Structures are given as structure tokens and as C-alpha cells.
Amino acid sequence: MSLTRRDFARTSAVTGAGVALVGSVGALATAPNALASTDTDTDTDADTGTETDTGTESASDTAADRHGTAGVGYGPLLPDPDGILALPAGFKYRVITYSGRTKLDSGEYTPGKHDGTATFCGPRGTTLLVNNHELKGPRANWTYPVPLTEGLVYDPAAAGGCTVVEVRPGGHVAEWVGIAGTSTNCAGGSTPWGTWLTCEENSDRAGVNGMTKDHGYVFEVDPVDRRANRDPKPLKFFGRYDHEAVVIDPKRGHAYLTEDAAGPNGLLYRWTPPKGFEYGHGRFRELADDAGVLQAPKCYDSGGQFVDDLSRATRIGTVYGVDWVDVPDRDAKTVAVRKQFGAGEITRARKLEGMWWADGGAYVVSSYARDESPVRHDGQVWFYDPKRRTLTLKVLLGVNPDPAVDGAFDGPDNITVSPYGGLVIAEDGEGVQHLFGATDSGRTYPIARNDLNIGTEEEPEFSEFTGVTFSPDGRTLYANIQEPGIMLAITGPWKRQKR
């Protein structure tokens, strides 16, 4: 049943400010000096030992208690003598894979442009990570494309795909191809049944940019069963557009997907499976290309007024009611999906990026908004509550006036929910790049800074962070530096963050 504007307005009038503030985590502070609070506890139940991941190791491992980590977060970031990753005292990192340096089991080099990543429990105590590679266009454009492993190729002209990384007890790492011949594999998302959905953030048709097949699809990759990945099949029922991320509602069965596109701004989508469909390994392959229903959101405020773009929300705790509108042609045969709707029909948002399912709903990132949006900002995180059918603004970052100066955070992208409370966010802004945390009350704190300068001394440049995700046991935070393509494992004295 649709939640109408009238229903939402009536509910808002009855409950008043409680609707606007329920679940709010407050605005993110944009400077590390917000760390003055001392309201965190050490999580004595957490094992703060180092996971035996593997690879090159660097450490900022002086005693953490000498550097004020009793407050929110873990204290100031210490420069890395190896010039890769600045971390708080007591933390250290290990390089797991490095494009052009580490090798796959086949002997070929690790592909470049690391992006979305998830962790899974593997056999015999191993940790498995599926890692997207955001390689766009023809293979000849890239030094280290995803190798065309026999049986795992969708389009032999395309450079992207994903690899599976196995971290074994004792320190050994293995890596192999999960899927090849896809394009611009971006954030993606894991499923409740233990597989990975890799998303193409590119919708080139066959014959465009050298491609031999249509792109703009989602593919499923099994990190454990390599045979399940043979003969890759695009999951066309999710639609053909510039996909970013996807999450699955384990209770209701809906899939939620983000689109990173402009001119006009992209959309959040909901896919409803066909009646009686049961999720599980290999079940997506059984569905027809037009299975289920793909829809886009139509939002309205507490007064029942239509909201055309999520950037219009300028206050934390803003709540919009959501209806869902059917997509006319999900395969975009003649018109891009986001262009199939006229003014007043759906709600858009700029740079819809990472998502994470937790707390009974989906956290959704809008990375930034500029002149192509009604209101400018440098980052939003929304929470979609499927039970209430509402979007609540949890995080709002004002425009960063000087991204080259270390201090403010901007451009949230990949996101995860921390087992120690709050969110961990990968930054994809201008200038300095961080991994940073946000508590439930909106306090922010740095976790890591990218110290790898891929520019020049006169004009430094730092790549975005991607693929932020914790190991299944919560002891290790994995993240990627996208260029040149480095997967890192971060360990240290994690502690529970209070609100």
C-alpha cells in the first residue's frame, strides 16, 4: 500500500518534532578539533591484537594511552615514514594487495583502481574479500586490467571486474579473478546469503568505446564457490544505468540501488522481487530479465509538499515520506532510466554513492552537490526506514572552503557501519583524503589519512579511499587507496564509541 502525502502529513502533524528528530545522529563537525569530548569507553571485550593478514607492514605503534585516545576517536594522525597511511598512535597497517606489485594465483599482476569491497568468512579460518576494480573502457587503456580468466568473462573488450582476495591464518595472501570483462565496477554490495553484487558504473552500449556487449548492469560473484561464477550473467531486472551500490533488505526482500549520474541527477531505486521468490545461492540466475518491479522514489515533506531533490534538506533530522514510482523501461532501450521521468514525478540526488544495510534499513550517501543541484553541500548520509517508508537526514557536511588543508572532511563515498558504534566513511573529496568516523550524536574523528602523493611536490594529489569494511570478527578495518590500487588492513586498539 502506498504511503500517501496526506498520510505522512497527518502523521507529522500528530507527532510534531518527534518525527523530524527520530534517529537523528546530528550534523557532522568538519574539523578534528571536535575531538575535545571524552565520552568514549574502552571496549574491554574487543581483541586489539593484530590480525595475521600479510604483506608489507608499517606502524604508528607508540603507546596509544600517551596520545589522548580517551576522547571520541583515537587521537591525532601521525605521519607515515613510508608515505602511505597516517594513523593514530597504537594503530598499524599492512599492505594486502598492490596493483602492479602483488600477483594473482595465475601469475598476472593485481589489477588497478580498487573500489568497493566486502569481507566474508572463508574455509579453514580464512577471510575472503571481494574487491571491485573501477576500470572504464577498453583494456588497452589500462596497464593492469582484470585478467580475462577463461569462463569468467562477460565482455572481452572491457577492462574491469573484481578479484577475490584470501587472507590466510599465518599471513599468506592469495588472489584470483571473480569476474572479468565488465566496466567501471564501483561500490557494489554484499548479500545476506554470502555473495557479492558487483555494479557497473557505466552504461555503454555495444559498439561504444570498443565494447562488444551492453553495459550498465549488476553481476553476482560467489567468493567461495568459483564454479558458480562461470558464464557471467547480467542481472538485467535491476536495470541498466550507472550503478553505484546495492543492498538487500533481508526481511522484506527488496533491493535498493544507487545511481551516480548527472544531467539530470541520478536516482535511488527499489527493486521488488516477484511474488514467491526465495533468495539464495544461484537464484538470481533463474529470474527473467524483467522479473520483479524497479521503482524510483517520490519524496514529500511533513507538509505534504513534493521534494524534487534531496539536497533541499538543510537540517539534520529532516524526514521525508517516500512513495515509489515504477520505472517505464528499466533496460533504457532508447532513453536513460533517470531521464524517463518528468518534473514533479520523482526525487533526485547528486552523486548517490555507497550504501550499507544496518539498523533495519539502508544508509545512503549523496557525496556532494554543486550547481547541478538546488542546494550546495559537501556530503549527506540518509537513512531509509522501510517500515516507516521514510528517509531521514543523518549526516550533513557544509561546503569545505579549503580542501587542500588537513582538517575538514568532505565528499563521503563508500560507507560501513562500525561494530564499535557509528559510521566509518571513506572520503572522496578534493585535496586531503581521510577515513573518518561519525558517532551517533554526530561527533567526527579521523581514522586514517592518505599520505601517498601521486601528484608533484608543487601540486600534491591524493587518491580517494574506497572499499571500507570490517573483517567478520571486527578486528581489522580494510580499506583501499584507489590509485594506484592498494588494499590495506588496519589494526589497533579499537574501542566502542559512545553517542
Query: Three-state DSSP class for 7?
Result: helix
Residue 168 lies in a domain: yes
How far apart are the C-alpha atoms of 226 and 150, rounded to whole Å? 12
Asked whether the CA dihedral 75, 76, 79, 83 is positive or negative, the reply is positive
Q: Does residue 207 sit within a domain?
A: yes
DSSP 66: G
Q: What's the confidence (pLDDT) of residue 443?
A: 77
Tell me what pLDDT residue 35 has. Answer: 26
Distance of CA 283 to the CA centre of its chain: 24
Q: Is the pTM of this model over 0.75?
A: yes
| Alpha carbon distance 110, 276 (integer Å) | 41
At residue 405, the pLDDT reads: 85
> Are the CB atoms for 410 and 378 separated by under 8 Å?
yes
Determine the pLDDT at residue 42: 35
Query: What pLDDT is attached to residue 441?
Result: 73
For strand 57-60 and strand 91-98, is the pairing parallel, antiparallel, or unpaired?
A: antiparallel
Residue 310 lies in a domain: yes
Q: Cell numbers at residue 313, please? A: 534538506
Q: What is the DSSP letter of 228?
A: G
- For residue 472, the tally of other CB atoms under 10 A from its CB is 14
- Tell me whether residue 138 is in a domain: yes
What is the tally of structural domains in the chain? Answer: 1
Pull the grid cell for residue 252: 522484506
- Spell out, as residue ranges, where the chain has pLDDT lower than 50: 1-70
Q: For strands 114-121 and 91-98, give the pairing.
A: unpaired
Residue 58 CA to residue 84 CA, distance in Å, equals: 9
- Residue 31 falls within a domain, yes or no? yes
Residues 6+ apart with CB under 8 A from 370: 350, 376
Is 498 a member of any domain?
A: no
pLDDT on residue 442:
67
Helix (H, G, I), strand (E, B), or coil: what is residue 15?
helix
What is the distance between the alpha carbons of residues 25 and 440, in angstroms, rounded to a whole number? 5
DSSP state of 179: E
pLDDT digits (tens, 9 = 90+) for 341-377: 999 999 999 999 999 999 999 999 999 999 999 999 9
Residues 323/307, Cβ–Cβ less than 8 Å: no
Backbone angles phi, psi at 265, to 5 degrees: -55, 155
Secondary structure (3-state) at 198:
strand
Q: The C-alpha cell of 193 is what?
A: 546469503
Q: Tell me the CATH number at 240.
A: 2.120.10.30
Is 282 part of any domain? yes
Query: What domain range is 293 assigned to?
Result: 5-491
The per-residue pLDDT for 415 is 97
Q: Cell 502523521 identifies what position?
A: 11
Dihedral sign (CA 111, 115, 116, 121): positive
Predicted confidence at residue 71, as pLDDT, reads: 73
Is residue 270 domain-resident? yes
Closest CA to 364 of 327, 408, 395, 398: 395
